[in-house]
Amino acid sequence: MKIITCFKVVPDEQDIELKDNGELSFERAKLTISNYDLNSIEAGAQLAEKGSHELIGVSVGGAKINESKLKKNALSRGLTSLFMLADEKLSNLDTHQTAKLLKIMVEKIADWDLVLCGEGSSDLYAQQVGVQLGELLGATVINSVSKITEENGKIIVERTLENETEVIEVELPAVLSVTSFINLPRIPGMKNILSAGKKPSTVWSLTDIGGTCPSETVEVIETKAPRQMDRKKDITEDDSAESIQVFIEKIAAELR
């Protein structure tokens, strides 16, 4: 079975700085793998190791994602090989653009059986790419997957919902988006890190895939952090029913 796991390269959250005008500065932010995608890579790695399958990592983004350390980071987590589509024109993709480009990549890799995605990205968290990619590929699409097992060549998944757990036998090819609690991503050791540098990785530009960047479907007008406010220091002293009611009303008024 050929498994493809998609991951997004995002600015490291701890390096993002807030400017005085509320805008976010990414200038000093190192690039890293989106947290939620570590779960999809781990889910793929566990499946691949159990069934001796091939596990291919796939990512799309600006030219900056073609970074040696970042590629080793991904490859040290159980991937067999890595494909990147890195081009300056692909720096700020919306979810539909990402899904369309991933479709081209997955089809170019060919003969795939299963695509795994995280439940969202740690920067935008739109939770759209997995379902859109599945639709574009014409494959079975399931999100919120909290468990994946392979039994006699079949993929069985679980979706943990509020009051029940769905167990679904999945028709391949399929695109699954996994939850952040499906597993605890592994910590790569020195052996994994050293071997990562020897694994094959391929970087394509837009020209290599014979395409142009799909047009935007979303226009981002502004991205700003919430305005910082001083504490109001309005203290509700006791826990009587009346005071709690007053407290709730005050909170409700603030949220309006």
Partner 1 sequence: MDFSMTEEQELLIESLKELVAREAPESEVKKWYEVGAVSDQFMRAFLDAGFGFLGIPEEYGGTPADLTTLLMVAEELTRGTAATIPALSNILNMFDMVEFGTKEQIRLSMDLYEKTGKASFSLAISEPQAGSDNSGMTTTAVRKNGKVYLNGGKTFVTHGGVAPYCLLVAKDETPDRDNKNMSMWLFASDTPGVKFAPLHKIGQGTTSFAELYLDNVELDESCLVGTQGKGFLQLMKNFEIERLLLCMQTLGLAEAAMDDAASYAGQRMQFGRPIGEFQMIQQLLTDMEIKIKNMRNMVYEAAWLYDNGLSIRLESALCKRYCGRASTEVCSDAMQIMGGIGYTTEGRISRAWQDARGWEFAGGTEQIMVHIAGRQILKKYAK
Q: Which stretch binds partner 1 (CB under 8 A): 47-55, 67-75, 88-96, 206-214?
A: 67-75
Pick from 14, 111, 190, 221 the residue near partner 1 by CB under 8 A: 190
Q: Which residues pair with 169 in a beta bridge?
A: 156
Query: Interface with partner 1 includes 68 (CB under 8 A)?
Result: yes
Residue among 69 and 89 whose Cβ is closer to partner 1? 69
Pick from 40, 59, 66, 76 the residue near partner 1 by CB under 8 A: 76
Distance of CA 227 to the CA centre of its chain: 27
Residue among 81 and 192 whose Cβ is closer to partner 1? 192
- Cβ atoms 208, 105 nearer than 8 A: no
Residue among 136 and 196 whose Cβ is closer to partner 1? 196
Query: Interface with partner 1 includes 230 (CB under 8 A)?
Result: no
Enumerate residues 193-222 that contact partner 1 by CB under 8 A.
193-194, 196-197
Query: Interface with partner 1 includes 126 (CB under 8 A)?
Result: no
* Cα→Cα distances 209→58, 103, 213, Å: 14, 11, 10
CA–CA separation, 102 and 32 (whole Å) = 19
Least distance CB 5 / partner 1 (angstroms): 19
Q: Which residues pair with 145 in a beta bridge?
A: 159, 178
CA–CA separation, 218 and 237 (whole Å) = 47
Classify 168 as helix, strand or coil.
Answer: strand
CA–CA separation, 164 and 172 (whole Å) = 24
Binding mask 169-188 for partner 1 (x = CB under 8 A): ---------------x--xx
